[in-house]
Amino acid sequence: MRRHFLHLAGLSVLAAGLGLPAPARPDAEPEPTTVKDSERAKFIPQRRYAPLKGKAVGLMVSHVRDVMAHDGRGGPADAVAFSTADGSYRWVYVPVDDKAMITNLQVEVGEKGGKKKAYPKLSIANAGLLKGRGVAADYSLVETEVNDGLGSPAGESFVGTKFTRLDGSEKYPLKLPDVVKELKKRYQADLKARQKKVDAEMEGAKKKALKGRKVTGPKETAELMYLTWLPDSQRVRVAFHTRLSDGSYQWVQGGARLPPGKGALAFRPPPPPPDRKVRVGVTFGVEVGMAYEVDKSGKVVATKLLPPKGFSQELQAPPAGGGPRGR
């Protein structure tokens, strides 16, 4: 699989340099389908959850902070989350004997909810806690027991009480860490093959947003990688979203100190303090992406293109006053 992907990547870069279309997909792989404008917002889910049965198959995913921020959520940098059925990442709590992050938590159970189960000591799943439970990889396909087999209603979290890693097994021979590594390379090649279209959209967004103002920079790139398990098709979906931006900016005093968060908000990132400068002006740029569906053997069987599209955004000055000062 590695040699196969690297060959494709080399051809894609060559095509981009010559101004040619991207190379044909390998092994009669279908051409990419295109995401419609009306579906762009769903390319990476936001706050989308579904109930879980007592046992659920999905992906345990590390390095989730940026995707969580896309959802407006924050959490520990080393947290590992669960994803299935193209839904948003869910926090996974695991029972622990000591050094608990959370004590005596009443967890809603059952697919319809309405009932609760108390867990005396819990921590948010991370690589160290999962390694002792048989899940020793940044990306794993697993079957997890949800809330002691009671299931969970739609929501942001559940308690994972047992885990069985599935990828690399006879039934699911793909090795998910290897798949992710190769798809990262393939996405960069596919992105380069579309560089001319990206540049044209960027120039159009610049003219529309600036209206004669001078570009100050800096140029910035933000990239999200989202993974999920598609139970109906028995495939892994890996979606990449890239946001390229530039702008015309100036810096002003601003920000506000808020009281520290409690409960579910305990991990929220603090706002900028009043004595820090913040950036205002106009941002312009392009958003583009690709999604790949991989079958149980590790072969890419479908792709979806998020075509380049320009955007602009006004960054407003912060409101007057520093707000309450929390310590």
Cα separations (Å) of 121 from 124, 153, 261?
11, 21, 21
pLDDT of residue 158: 98
Task: Give me the pLDDT at residue 276, please.
Answer: 75
Can you say whether residue 149 is alpha, beta or left, with left for phi > 0 and alpha for psi between -120 and 50 degrees?
left
Nearest Cα to 73, choosing from 54, 112, 113, 46?
46
Whole-prediction pTM: 0.83
**Confidence at residue 97, expressed as pLDDT on a 0 to 100 scale:** 95
pLDDT at residue number 10: 42
pLDDT of res. 14: 35
Contact yes or no for 146/56 (Cβ under 8 A): yes
Distance CA 123, CA 202 (A): 44
Domain ranges of the chain: 2-31+173-315, 46-165
Q: Are 325 and 257 in contact (CB under 8 A)?
A: yes
DSSP designation for 315: E
Can you read off the two tokens belonging to residue 116?
């609760």
Chain CA centroid to CA 138, Å: 14
Q: What pLDDT is stored for residue 42 in this prediction?
A: 94
**What order of strands is seen across the sheet that includes strand 276-294?**
33-34, 300-315, 276-294, 235-254, 220-230
**pLDDT one digit per residue (tens) for the chain, 327 residues:** 444 433 444 434 334 433 444 444 556 688 999 999 999 999 999 999 999 999 999 999 999 999 999 999 999 999 999 999 999 999 999 999 999 999 999 999 999 999 999 999 999 999 999 999 999 899 999 999 999 999 999 999 999 999 999 999 999 999 999 999 999 999 999 999 999 999 999 999 999 999 888 999 999 999 999 999 999 999 999 999 999 999 999 988 765 544 444 433 344 445 555 567 888 999 999 999 999 999 999 999 999 999 999 999 998 877 665 444 433
Question: Measured at the alpha carbon of residue 208, what is the angle toward residues 206 and 212, in degrees to the nearest 5?
Answer: 75
